[in-house]
Amino acid sequence: MKNTLSASDSDPAHLAGAAARKPDDNHGTARFANAISQGSDGGHGTADNRPHGEQPRPPTDGQAPNRLRETLAKLLGGGWICLLLIVLIALFWLLRPAQFGSAYNLSQIAINAAILLVLSVGQTFVIIAAGIDLSVGAVLVFSSVISAQTMLYLTGDAGSTFGTTDAGWGIIALGTLVSLLAGTLWGALNGFLIAVARIPALIVTLGTFGMALGLAQIISGGVDVRAIPERLVDIIGSGDIAGIPMLVAIAALVTIVAAAVLHLTRFGLHVFATGSNMEAVRRAGVNVRRRLIGIYMISGALAGMAAVMSNARFSTTTIGGHAMDNLSTISAVVLGGTSLFGGIGSVAGTVIGVFIPIILLNGFVILGIPPFWQTVAMGAVLILAVWIDQLKRRARERG
């Protein structure tokens, strides 16, 4: 059997993957599964399986609310969260045009979103494949500590040095490579335990969350490394390219590449299909274990990339600053329309989901609203997003 999905239109795995590749298409995999199991009506009935000439029956009292929910889900689709983002921007802009609409403020919003966006892109791959990764924040911390310690050692400065160092680009490149490698290895460990040892992803990534964070504290002695190469801080952390902050440019590049991989490659098709129906993908000849390990390695590698960006921006490691990154990334991905059940999602949606909490917090601060209300608002929006996802899922199942 070939190690790829069949292109046959009758292949359930192919159809599931094809449906999942279009996250804004509200048909979903259940409709394809029903079509395959029920077959064609052969011209002996109508689209809803009624014989010709039979009038549709009016909905009963129990059916009416169900149809209302299905219609609501179809109307909302995945575009409601984009509309919410536009409304938030317009509202804060109208209330405080000078503060919110200033070039400096908009630049800070983009910079604040950059690191979270890189983490959330990796989480998008995982959740579309019907997984979860709670370790991303801890992997970021571990990778940042390993990277900073490596650059500090190669520079020849003491570990207690404060401020920046004069490390060259060769040392910075090696430190970046170490960070990416560390994140990738943690992702490979997650993927191996989930795909091969068959331990639930929630338990595995919760365990590696503690392991990565604990090892980072052991290596650093529980103290942040505050000696980061000056070139990294000035050019990557604070610099810009053609007026675009360097951190934002890096996050945009990562997002574009990830979107191309997820939506335009066979690997991306396998990611969607794995989340839709893992058994069908396995029977189609795809090495599901290898795919799952690869997916978690992507998440880990992007956490390593975010670690370098974090070091560059803050001029220090931030051991205590990423404890909630796992929940923030999951919230951003779900807000962006990716289904927690897998098989449906998009990188573009994740971009929108990342900016909503950032803009909420920024707007609340400008309006003088206590930032604690951002947590309340985000919780309500997250519940709404999951509820709408449930409605869409039920609508697809009913075909």
pLDDT of residue 378: 77
Confidence of residue 29 (pLDDT cuts 50, 70, 90): very low
Q: Can you give the pLDDT at residue 392?
A: 74
Which range of residues forms the domain containing residue 155? 12-37+78-398
Looking at the structure of the chain, the number of domains it has is 1
Read off the pLDDT of residues 330-367 as tens digits, 9 standing for 90 and up.
Answer: 989 998 889 888 999 999 999 999 998 899 889 988 99
User: Nearest-5° angle of CA 361, CA 341, CA 294?
Assistant: 90
What CATH number corresponds to the domain at position 285? Answer: 1.10.3470
pLDDT greater than 90 at residue 379: no
What distance in Å separates the CA atoms of residue 186 and residue 162, rounded to the nearest whole number? 29
Predicted local distance difference test score (pLDDT) of residue 84: 84
Q: What is the pLDDT of residue 67?
A: 59
User: Please, are residues 374 and 361 in contact by the beta-carbon 8 Å criterion?
Assistant: yes
Position 72 in a domain: no
Residue 335 CB contacts under 8 Å (≥ 6 apart), including other chains: 81, 349, 352, 353, 356, 381, 382, 385
E-strand ranges in 198-330 read 227-229, 240-241, 244-245
pLDDT at 50 over 90: no
137: confidence class by pLDDT, cuts 50, 70, 90: very high
User: Do the domain assignments include residue 112?
Assistant: yes
* Residue 25 in this model has a pLDDT that exceeds 60: no
Give me the mean pLDDT over the 168-176 stretch: 93
Rounded to whole angstroms, how far apart are CA atoms 232 and 167?
9
Flag whether 59 is in a domain.
no
Tens-place pLDDT, residues 259-285: 999 999 999 999 999 999 998 989 988
Is 48 part of any domain? no
* 6 is a domain residue: no
Average pLDDT of the segment spanning 215-238 = 91
**At residue 85, does pLDDT exceed 80?**
yes
- In order of 70, 83, 332, 354, the CA distances from 329 in angstroms are 28, 20, 5, 8
Strand partners, 165: 229
Q: Give 61's pLDDT tier (boundaries 50, 70, 90).
A: low
**pLDDT for 78:** 53
* Mean pLDDT for all residues in the chain: 81
Q: Which residue has the tokens 């650093």?
A: 220
Average pLDDT of span 26-50? 38
| Residue at 203 is within a domain | yes
Whether residue 295 is predicted with pLDDT greater than 80 in this model: the reply is: yes
pLDDT of 382: 78
Distance, in Å, from the CA atom of 272 to the CA atom of 266, rounded to the nearest integer, reads 10
Task: Please indicate, yes or no, if residue 304 is contained in any of the structural domains.
Answer: yes
Asked, for residue 224, whether it belongs to a domain, the answer is: yes
